[in-house]
Amino acid sequence: MIASIKGTISLKSTTALTVEVQGIGYQVWVPLSSYYRLPEEKEQVSLHIHTHVREDAIQLFGFLSTREKALFLLLLGVSGVGPKLAINILSGIDIHDLICALSEGQVKTLRAIPGVGPKMAGRLALELKEKVGQIELDGFRPVTAESEGESAVRNDAFSALVNLGYHRGDVKRALDKISFDGDGLSSTEDLIKEGLKSLAKV
């Protein structure tokens, strides 16, 4: 099984990319959570890979972080969730918000993800509520009252910056670069100001 790939992006789209390794091009399906942080074409990329084997095909699913891959594998463990739906879920909601929604059983939030119906949302909340707490990779902290408040502030800042006309992908990347605790940020206004500074450099 292929566990990781490091090579040059020869072709990139919002759903998949071709990574060339020593003259061989591998098609890798990626969620939007990874796509927005990918390097440009002709640049190097390193991806964590899940190899999905079917009777008629072998598919590669790639992720920039171990946290995304861990979530993907958790989703695959739910009855009725295949690789395409798992990728769709990771593409339809911010990773941090997905972890919060699962850990707190927020069925309404899960139902808002494109492709997730009421029954599937309930199943995800029921089966993954306890399991998702095990994901503490890439600096992610388990959901607490403090981290929940942080998420609310980030969401408010995100909405405000998008409403100002900035592209959603650019806003997400800008906010991801900001250390909430390290910079002493405590309010939506503080985060918006820092976000604007970062966006001005784009």
Let me know if residue 140 belongs to a domain. no
Query: Which of 99, 134, 169 represents a domain boundary (last residue)?
Result: 134
DSSP letter for 114, please: T
Same domain? For 18 and 38 the reply is yes
Neighbouring-strand partners of residue 45: 7
Contact status, residue 97 vs residue 112, Cβ threshold 8 Å: no
Q: Which phi-psi region, left, alpha or beta, contains residue 90 (left: φ > 0; alpha: ψ -120 to 50)?
A: alpha
Same domain? For 105 and 90 the reply is yes
How far is residue 60's CA from residue 160's CA, in Å, rounded to a whole number?
A: 36
Let me know if residue 34 belongs to a domain. yes
Same domain? For 36 and 58 the reply is yes
Let me know if residue 139 belongs to a domain. no
Same domain? For 123 and 73 the reply is yes
Let me know if residue 41 belongs to a domain. yes
* CATH (domain of 51): 2.40.50.140
- Output phi, psi for 187, to 5 deg: -140, 165
Same domain? For 119 and 159 the reply is no
Same domain? For 150 and 185 the reply is yes
Same domain? For 151 and 118 the reply is no
Same domain? For 53 and 106 the reply is no
The confidence score (pLDDT) of residue 202 equals: 60
Query: Which of 106, 134, 162 represents a domain boundary (last residue)?
Result: 134
The confidence score (pLDDT) of residue 141 equals: 42
Let me know if residue 55 belongs to a domain. yes
- Output phi, psi for 48, to 5 deg: -85, 130
Let me know if residue 176 belongs to a domain. yes
Q: Among 53, 71, 51, which residue's Cα sits nearest to residue 62?
A: 51
Domains of the chain: total: 3
Helices (H), the chain: 32-35, 66-76, 83-92, 95-103, 107-111, 118-128, 145-163, 168-176, 188-199
Q: Among 43, 103, 51, which residue's Cα sits nearest to residue 72?
A: 51
Query: The tokens of 179 are what?
Result: 């250390």
Let me know if residue 116 belongs to a domain. yes
Same domain? For 125 and 71 the reply is yes
Same domain? For 58 and 75 the reply is no
Domain span including residue 80: 66-134
Contact status, residue 177 vs residue 36, Cβ threshold 8 Å: no
How far is residue 48's CA from residue 67's CA, in Å, rounded to a whole number?
A: 10
How far is residue 131's CA from residue 64's CA, in Å, rounded to a whole number?
A: 21
pTM: 0.65
pLDDT in tens, the chain (202 residues): 788 999 999 999 999 999 999 999 999 999 998 898 899 999 999 999 999 988 888 999 999 988 889 899 999 999 999 999 999 999 999 888 898 889 888 999 999 998 899 999 999 999 998 888 777 533 344 444 344 445 567 777 777 887 788 877 777 778 777 755 444 555 778 888 888 888 887 6
Q: Which burial class, exposed, middle or buried, applies to 68 when counting CB atoms under 10 A from its CB (0-12, 13-18, 19+)?
A: buried
The confidence score (pLDDT) of residue 167 equals: 78
Let me know if residue 182 belongs to a domain. yes
